[in-house]
Chain A
Amino acid sequence: MPKLNLSHFEAAFLFALFSSVVMGVVTKRNDRDRLHYGLYTFACFLLALFGIGWLMYLGHG
């Protein structure tokens, strides 16, 4: 099994991507809404990723 050595950002990005795909697929009732919800969820994940990242950076001083 090849080893995967990812940074925090890369790992969190992949996590957001896979989770958004599943949430988009299972949540809404037509394809257009599914696509929108998947993109929205992905954007929320990234926003939280950057937001919490900056918060931790600033919190450390």
Chain B
Amino acid sequence: MPPRLLVHSKKVPMAKEKEQKQPMPPVGTWAPAVALGWLVPGGGHFLLKRNGRGALLFAAVTSMFLCGLMMQGAMFQPQSGDLLTTLINTGGFVGDVCSGILYLLSVWFGYNVPDMPGHVHDYGTKFLVTAGLLNVLAMVDAYEIASGRKD
């Protein structure tokens, strides 16, 4: 008689299963704060009466964006082509747009600087994108505050 293999039939609980998923809060509780946070950096925090943090976020994101403009950084435009070109330009464009009113105003006032060689312009381009990405962090924070997950 051939030996039989014993196989454990019990499931091993995974770490992810242990974490309890929090239910999604109603859109109406967080959407205004997140939308205002996108439009005006720190605006979501102001709406939620976190004025000190809102002021710091507004100052940091706006200063970074203005430094990017003064360094003559280039704004990204979505482009198709090979994968890397699409990824960089579309990602950069999304980063720029995330600055909200700062991006909209600069485009409305005709800011259009071509990509130029030089470290100052290069830093400027990165400053513009990073200002948008930092604003995304601020929007996520506003979402957590509005949904009661954070003070």
Contacts and interface: CB of A to CB of B under 8 A. Distances in A.
Interface string A11-30: 11011001101110110011
A14 B131 CA distance: 12
A47 B134 CA distance: 21
Interface string B50-72: 00010011011101100101111
Interface in B92-151: 111, 119-120, 123-124, 126-127, 130-131, 134, 137-138, 140-141, 150-151
Q: Which range contains the number of B residues in contact with the other chain?
A: 20 to 34
Given A5-B120, A6-B71, A26-B137, A15 B127 contact: yes
Contact of A6 (B69, B123, B137, B140): B123
Interface residues of A, number: 20
Contacts of A14: 64, 67, 127
Interface of B: 53, 56-57, 59-61, 63-64, 67, 69-72, 111, 119-120, 123-124, 126-127, 130-131, 134, 137-138, 140-141, 150-151
